Amino acid sequence: MEATYWRKCGSCKKEIGYNTIYQACSVSTCSKTAFCSVDCWDTHVPIMNHKNAWAEEERSPSKPDAQAEHQVRRTIIQPSASASSSKSSPMESEVLIVASKLKQYVKDKYDLNTSANVMDALSTEVRKLTDKAVQKAQAEGRKTLMDRDFI
Ligand SMILES: [Zn+2]
Ligand SMILES: [Zn+2]
């Protein structure tokens, strides 16, 4: 069911349409409440026990705007929901480094030997960096991890 109005008045429950002037309460806890008239806004002040409040004239969004706002909110929520659902992988404890290539690099460049434990330590670091990069990709709603996620 699609709503044909934007919000209902916080006092008399009259429907406030899209692209319509309404009265907003200056108190932040009331910011989601719209009032059809200053009279209706006046009515809620003693009920809510406001001390320093005034009515602000606002215009409700036009219908396409209200729907766009809805969609934006949905795309923001989605990545964080999938971010919390990371699955387990057998590669969580495996060596991800090509040992022979790394050993050759260290040997050629610095004339050092490389102990086998280095591969474990580096694999842990690679996983940490990757997990962080994945969070960036997910925050942007992407399904592909990219080089720029590591910067
Ligand atoms: Zn009203
Ligand atoms: Zn209020």
Number of folded domains that form the chain: 2
pTM score of the predicted model:
0.43
Final residue belonging to a domain, choices 21, 44, 62: 62
Nearest ligand by distance to the CA of 29: 2
Indicate the range of 21-35, 81-95, 118-132 predicted with least confidence. 81-95
* Residue 1 falls inside a structural domain: no
Residue with token string 């001390």: 51
Residue range(s) defining the domain that contains residue 24: 7-62
Residue 146 in tokens = 């990219």
Query: How far apart are the CA of 36 and the centre of ligand 1, in A?
Result: 4
Nearest ligand by distance to the CA of 42: 2
Query: How far apart are the CA of 61 and the centre of ligand 2, in A?
Result: 20
pLDDT exceeding 70 applies to what percent of the chain? 83
Indicate the range of 8-12, 80-84, 114-118 predicted with least confidence. 80-84
Mean pLDDT of 99-122: 93
* Residue 71 falls inside a structural domain: no
- pLDDT score at 71: 60
Q: What is the C-alpha separation between 98 and 123, in angstroms, rounded?
A: 10
- pLDDT score at 66: 61
* Residue 73 falls inside a structural domain: no
Residue 44 in tokens = 């809620």
pLDDT tier, 52 (very low <50, low <70, confident <90, very high otherwise): confident
pLDDT tier, 80 (very low <50, low <70, confident <90, very high otherwise): very low
Query: How far apart are the CA of 3 and the centre of ligand 1, in A?
Result: 18
Ion ligand 1 residues within 5 Å by Cβ:
9, 11-12, 14, 36, 40
Residue with token string 């036009």: 62
Query: How far apart are the CA of 5 and the centre of ligand 1, in A?
Result: 14
Q: Buried b / exposed e across 94-125, counting CB within 10 Å, b at 16+? A: eeebeeeeebeeeeeeeeeebeeebbeebbee
* Residue 125 falls inside a structural domain: yes
Tell me: do 139 and 99 sit in the same domain: yes
Q: Which residues contact 38 (CB under 8 A, 6 or more apart)?
A: 23, 55
Tell me: do 21 and 55 sit in the same domain: yes
Is residue 23 within 8 Å of 43, Cβ to Cβ?
no
Residue 109 in tokens = 């460049």
Residue 92: its H or E element: none
Mean pLDDT of the chain: 86
pLDDT in tens, 2-41: 668 999 999 999 999 999 999 999 998 898 899 999 999 9
Residue with token string 């209706």: 40
